[in-house]
């Protein structure tokens, strides 16, 4: 029989850390902490299987669930010595979500559950503090009404603001017990007015309402968006954790806080966190009050005047340090912990592997290897490859002038410039139209996630280093400056002002998330360098990977950058990109406009020395590493002008009548150019084009070898072939040119001729083609288009709907379709290598930098992947993880 509820607390637990799929991350770790003997308030977890059942059975529960919940609740009552609904000595509980993957702030929480008009009096009596009891009750009504009854927060905030105005006070802490009593009465009236029913008084009704709301929140819009951004399957569901309340807001010997066992921004081995005296946990993470630092060191570093926990509660701080050590040793990873201090006693409410920046992840992994906590392979497996993107992009140029107008907390590193926007919707709208924006908010909430994803960076005027904005920005790799207290934000007026400077919506600012600085205008940036921990981890990755990593590079700049990032050659040089520069385009257009072969050859003769110079530079940068050069691929009309004005300019440049340009453009027009006169079809029609390119390549090889450079073995690639005959004809042209250049230069020329496999027919006939081809490079961009019959340029409008409906798990142009396209790749590998055992295989579409696609390429037995320069380190790490059997699931 299925077990739906697992209890924990009092030094024992029915669950374990490795049961996260069933208990969710929070429930599994609460069980583990209980078994470790840490002070965890007792509670129980309703499993993720109940969530699955709930949605599969018209939002109803298994028949046995109520009995299991009642039994687990009785155990909590026994441990705590209080009764759920007992008017004299009430047990209060929290109800929280807990999916198997951490989704901070995305789902709903209810605290102080069990309070009603009677139990509030019992709480006042047992705590000896009327004010605390009525404050807890008003918090519960507001939270429960918002989460369960769908009554907006603002209705309650309006009541509270009016009360403070009537009393002539500014702070919540200025309200006394009787004031909170009258606020509670107004809150209950608000609920009845908005829902048509009184606020529920029966604790068990409250409990089931909260459990249902948590399961319901799995399908709220912000959770759906978060899952989409982080590739979390909807089928996982969430667990629900019900736990005895402990109170951080019973007086000055109480506190609540969030801590990381190491610095989540830098990875430094320092205890890092924040706390608030006389507060509940929501106050810390919601960014409503600016918290204080845990340690004296942290307080000093941020130049804060507020006393550190180390000073205010030295004994409790000492216990917390021991917990830090215990948890980090047990989990062998940096932990994100939540705690409450009730009347001088420490309670642990949560631990999980902490979200961290890529820089911190690298440092923590490398340091933990040095400390003997983990080995090198585990360090390699632990880093999320895509997160390296955060380290591969520019930072602010230290020499550039900057006008700093304010400084906040350095909540998430990196630098970004953009136009100021004051709402998440506006950020998303402007980003869609190509604008770079900075999202400016007083504080962010989970509803802002779509705008945070769209923005280049985030600025908030309140909140700390563990606020929603900070945690989410770090997870996304976005720069964030939080808690900039002297920045005044007026979203309605569309202004940000600080000490006499006003910035309006649409004006540019720059953020430095590493220092917390806010600057006027756009500040220039500098390129990153691979060094230190990054370089060390990459060496470890290279020791275990078997898949080669090349780059897609068409210019010397790209090639040099890729070499810095560890590329082992060029897997795709698109020669047509070289045609668009400067004077070349004029010669290219002359070639296209030519009426006969003689005129075409005359134009091509002008282009040849330019191409040769490009190849010389690429060969010298790659210093003997393989360079795969794709001969001309796009249809010729792409090189011709589109507008009348441009046509007139080209006519002047080339020295022909504008009507000739118009006629040629019309003649070259194709209804479906992606499947038209391009690739090898151009070479068959105009062999002199491929002949010129081959000559430029071989003359460049001869020149580099004569200079004493390393021997170059170019790999010449014919695009878009469907038949062996096409390749045979083009190889004959290339071989003939090679012989001529070798004879003329006196240099021995070694080279390979191969093809791009980007048509399903080519994949299926790979055995025939391999009789001629010495390598295959899978052009997965076009192979995906031709396999699905999808246009990459036109499908964006409906692909999202396909993902939402579960037809596609991912965009097939972003992550390789391993079933359909993948099967064609495997067929081509098998048939090709059967004919030519030494056949070299790689992929050169953008999939080469996608970690999931890299895992597939390793498994499929390819020799290399090729990707854009900035994705090379990501591919290196993904290839290493593939060799190790896949990445570690750290959450």
How far apart (Å, rounded) are the C-alpha atoms in residues 633 and 614?
18
What per-residue confidence (pLDDT) applies to 223? 81
How far apart (Å, rounded) are the C-alpha atoms in residues 715 and 719?
13
Q: Is residue 228 within a helix (H) or strand (E), and if so which, with residue range?
A: helix 221-229
How far apart (Å, rounded) are the C-alpha atoms in residues 695 and 733?
10
| Strand ranges, E, within 331-447 | 335-342, 345-353, 395-396, 403-407, 409-412, 415-421, 437-441
What per-residue confidence (pLDDT) applies to 891? 46
Listed residue (276, 274, 234) closest to 256, CA to CA: 276
With a CB cutoff of 8 Å and minimum separation 6, the contacts of 257 are 273, 274, 275, 276, 284, 291, 294, 309, 338, 339, 340, 341
For residues 442 and 535, the answer to whether their CB atoms sit within 8 Å is: no
What per-residue confidence (pLDDT) applies to 202? 97
Strand order in the sheet with 292-293: 292-293, 272-277, 255-260, 335-342, 345-353
Are β-strands 43-46 and 109-113 bridged in parallel, bridged antiparallel, or unpaired?
unpaired
Q: Which two three-digit tokens encode residue 547?
A: 């898949």
How far apart (Å, rounded) are the C-alpha atoms in residues 873 and 564?
10
Are β-strands 93-99 and 109-113 bridged in parallel, bridged antiparallel, or unpaired?
antiparallel
What per-residue confidence (pLDDT) applies to 691? 97
Q: Which two three-digit tokens encode residue 844?
A: 């050169």
What per-residue confidence (pLDDT) applies to 174? 86
Rounded to 10 degrees, the C-alpha dihedral 831/836/842/843 comes to -40
How far apart (Å, rounded) are the C-alpha atoms in residues 856 and 872?
17
How far apart (Å, rounded) are the C-alpha atoms in residues 359 and 365?
10
How far apart (Å, rounded) are the C-alpha atoms in residues 251 and 254?
6
Are β-strands 864-867 and 840-843 bridged in parallel, bridged antiparallel, or unpaired?
parallel
How far apart (Å, rounded) are the C-alpha atoms in residues 374 and 746?
56
For residues 823 and 860, the answer to whether their CB atoms sit within 8 Å is: no
Cα separations in angstroms, 570 against 455, 530, 757, 876: 33, 20, 17, 14
What per-residue confidence (pLDDT) applies to 393? 64
Residue 183 CA, chain-centre distance (Å), reads 42
What per-residue confidence (pLDDT) applies to 582? 59
For residues 335 and 242, the answer to whether their CB atoms sit within 8 Å is: no
- Tokens 């706390």 correspond to what residue? 275
With a CB cutoff of 8 Å and minimum separation 6, the contacts of 418 are 435, 436, 437, 438, 455, 456, 457, 508, 509
In angstroms and rounded to an integer, the radius of gyration of the C-alpha atoms of the chain is 32
DSSP 265: T
Q: Is residue 559 within a helix (H) or strand (E), and if so which, with residue range?
A: helix 556-564
Specify which residues 775 forms β-bridges with: 840
Can you state the angle between helices 597-622 and 584-593, rounded to 10 degrees? 150
- What is the block-wise mean pLDDT of the chain (891 residues), using blocks of 10 residues? 92 93 94 96 96 93 96 96 94 93 77 96 92 93 94 91 90 89 96 96 96 90 80 88 93 92 93 90 65 92 91 96 96 95 95 88 95 96 86 78 91 89 94 94 82 94 77 78 91 92 95 91 79 90 97 88 93 83 77 88 93 94 95 86 79 83 85 89 95 97 88 95 98 98 95 98 98 97 93 74 85 90 98 98 88 95 92 94 78 46
What per-residue confidence (pLDDT) applies to 101? 84
- Tokens 């396209």 correspond to what residue? 821
Q: Is 779 helix (H, G, I), strand (E, B) or coil?
A: coil
How far apart (Å, rounded) are the C-alpha atoms in residues 237 and 21?
9
Listed residue (887, 680, 824) closest to 845, CA to CA: 824
For residues 626 and 550, the answer to whether their CB atoms sit within 8 Å is: yes
Quickly list DSSP for 457-495. EEEESS--TTSHHHHHHHHHT--EEE--TT-EEETTTTE
What per-residue confidence (pLDDT) applies to 884? 96
Residue 858 CA, chain-centre distance (Å), reads 23
Helix then strand then coil, in percent of the chain rounded to 5, is 50, 15, 35
For residues 874 and 385, the answer to whether their CB atoms sit within 8 Å is: yes
Q: Is residue 179 within a helix (H) or strand (E), and if so which, with residue range?
A: helix 177-195
Listed residue (440, 447, 436) closest to 406, CA to CA: 440
User: What is the pTM for the complete model shown?
Assistant: 0.77
CA angle 294-297-299, nearest 5°? 60
Cα separations in angstroms, 608 against 587, 612, 654, 700: 10, 6, 18, 11
What per-residue confidence (pLDDT) applies to 890? 47
Active site residues: 468, 844
For residues 523 and 396, the answer to whether their CB atoms sit within 8 Å is: yes
Specify which residues 558 forms β-bridges with: none
- Tokens 């009327």 correspond to what residue? 130
């Amino acid at each position: 029989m299925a077990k739906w509820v697992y209890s924990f607390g009092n030094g024992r637990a029915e669950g374990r850390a490795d049961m996260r799929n069933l208990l969710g991350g929070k429930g599994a770790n609460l069980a583990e902490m209980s078994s470790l003997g840490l002070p965890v308030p007792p509670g129980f977890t309703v499993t993720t299987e109940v969530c699955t059942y709930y949605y599969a059975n018209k939002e109803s529960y298994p028949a046995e669930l109520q009995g299991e919940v009642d039994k687990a609740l009785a155990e909590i009552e026994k441990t705590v010595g209080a009764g759920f609904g007992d008017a004299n000595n009430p047990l209060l509980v929290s109800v929280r979500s807990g999916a198997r993957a951490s989704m901070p702030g995305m789902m709903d929480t209810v605290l102080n559950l069990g309070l009603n008009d009677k139990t509030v009096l019992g709480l006042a009596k047992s705590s000896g503090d009327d004010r605390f009891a009525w404050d807890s009750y008003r918090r519960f009504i507001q939270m429960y009404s918002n989460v369960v009854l769908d009554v907006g927060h603002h209705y309650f905030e309006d009541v509270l603001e009016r009360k403070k105005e009537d009393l002539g006070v500014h702070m919540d802490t200025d309200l006394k017990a009787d004031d909170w009593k009258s606020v509670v009465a107004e809150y209950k009236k608000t609920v009845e007015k908005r829902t048509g029913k009184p606020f529920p008084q029966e604790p068990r009704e409250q409990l089931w309402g909260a459990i249902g709301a948590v399961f319901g929140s799995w399908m709220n819009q912000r959770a759906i968006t978060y899952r989409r951004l982080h590739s979390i399957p909807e089928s996982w569901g969430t667990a629900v954790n019900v736990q005895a309340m402990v109170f951080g807001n019973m007086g000055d010997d109480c506190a609540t806080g969030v801590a990381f066992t190491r610095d989540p921004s830098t990875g430094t081995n320092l205890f890092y966190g924040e706390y608030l005296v006389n507060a509940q946990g929501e106050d810390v993470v919601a960014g409503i009050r600016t918290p204080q630092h845990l340690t004296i060191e942290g307080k000093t570093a941020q130049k804060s005047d507020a006393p550190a926990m180390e000073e205010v509660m030295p004994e409790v701080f000492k216990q917390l340090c021991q917990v830090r050590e215990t948890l980090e040793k047990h989990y062998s990873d940096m932990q994100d912990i939540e705690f409450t201090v009730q009347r001088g006693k420490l309670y642990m409410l949560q631990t999980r592997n902490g979200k961290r920046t890529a820089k911190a992840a690298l440092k923590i992994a490398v340091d933990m290897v040095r400390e003997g906590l983990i080995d090198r392979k585990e360090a390699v497996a632990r880093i999320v490859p895509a997160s390296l993107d955060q380290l591969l992009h520019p930072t602010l140029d230290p020499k550039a002038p900057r006008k700093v107008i304010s400084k906040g907390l350095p909540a998430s590193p990196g630098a970004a410039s953009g136009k100021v926007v004051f709402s998440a919707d506006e950020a998303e709208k402007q980003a869609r139209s190509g604008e770079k924006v900075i999202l400016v908010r007083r504080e962010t909430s989970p509803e802002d996630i779509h705008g945070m994803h769209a923005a280049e960076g985030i600025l908030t005027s309140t909140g700390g280093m563990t606020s929603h904005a900070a945690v989410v920005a770090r997870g996304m790799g976005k720069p964030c400056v939080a808690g900039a207290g002297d920045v005044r934000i007026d979203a309605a007026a569309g202004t940000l002002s600080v000490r006499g400077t006003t910035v309006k919506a649409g004006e540019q600012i720059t953020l430095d998330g590493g220092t917390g600085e806010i600057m006027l205008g756009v500040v220039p940036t500098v390129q990153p360098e691979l060094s230190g921990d990054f370089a060390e981890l990459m060496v470890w990755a290279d020791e275990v990977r078997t898949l080669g990593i090349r780059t897609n590079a068409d210019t010397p700049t790209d090639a040099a950058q890729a070499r810095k990032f560890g590329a082992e050659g060029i897997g795709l040089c698109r020669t047509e990109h070289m045609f668009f520069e400067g004077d070349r385009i004029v010669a290219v257009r002359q070639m296209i406009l030519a009426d006969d072969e003689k005129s075409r050859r005359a134009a091509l003769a002008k282009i040849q020395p330019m191409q040769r110079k490009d190849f010389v530079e690429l060969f010298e940068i790659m210093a003997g590493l393989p360079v795969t050069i794709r001969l001309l691929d796009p249809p010729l009309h792409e090189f011709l002008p589109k507008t009348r004005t441009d046509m007139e300019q080209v006519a002047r440049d080339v020295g022909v009548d504008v009507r000739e340009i118009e006629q040629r453009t019309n003649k070259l027009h194709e209804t479906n150019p992606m499947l038209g006169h391009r690739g090898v079809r151009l070479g068959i029609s105009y062999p002199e084009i491929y002949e010129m390119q081959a000559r430029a390549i071989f003359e460049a090889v001869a020149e580099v070898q004569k200079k004493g450079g390393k021997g170059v073995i170019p790999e010449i690639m014919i695009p878009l072939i469907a038949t062996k005959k096409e390749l045979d004809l083009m190889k004959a042209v290339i071989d003939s040119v090679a012989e001529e250049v070798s004879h003329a230069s006196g240099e021995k020329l070694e080279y390979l001729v191969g093809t791009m496999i980007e048509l399903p027919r080519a994949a299926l006939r790979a055995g025939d083609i391999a009789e001629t081809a010495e390598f295959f490079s899978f052009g997965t961009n076009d192979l995906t288009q031709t396999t699905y019959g999808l246009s990459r340029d036109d499908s964006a409008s409906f692909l999202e709907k396909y993902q939402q409906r579960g037809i596609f798990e991912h965009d097939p142009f972003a992550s390789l379709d391993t079933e359909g396209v993948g099967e064609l790749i495997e067929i081509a590998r098998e048939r090709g290598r059967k004919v030519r055992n030494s056949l070299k295989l790689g992929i050169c579409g953008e999939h080469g930098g996608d970690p999931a696609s890299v895992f597939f390429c390793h498994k499929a037995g390819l020799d290399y992947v090729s990707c854009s320069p900035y994705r090379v380190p990501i591919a290196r790490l993904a290839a290493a993880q593939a060799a190790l059997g896949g990445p570690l699931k750290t959450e």
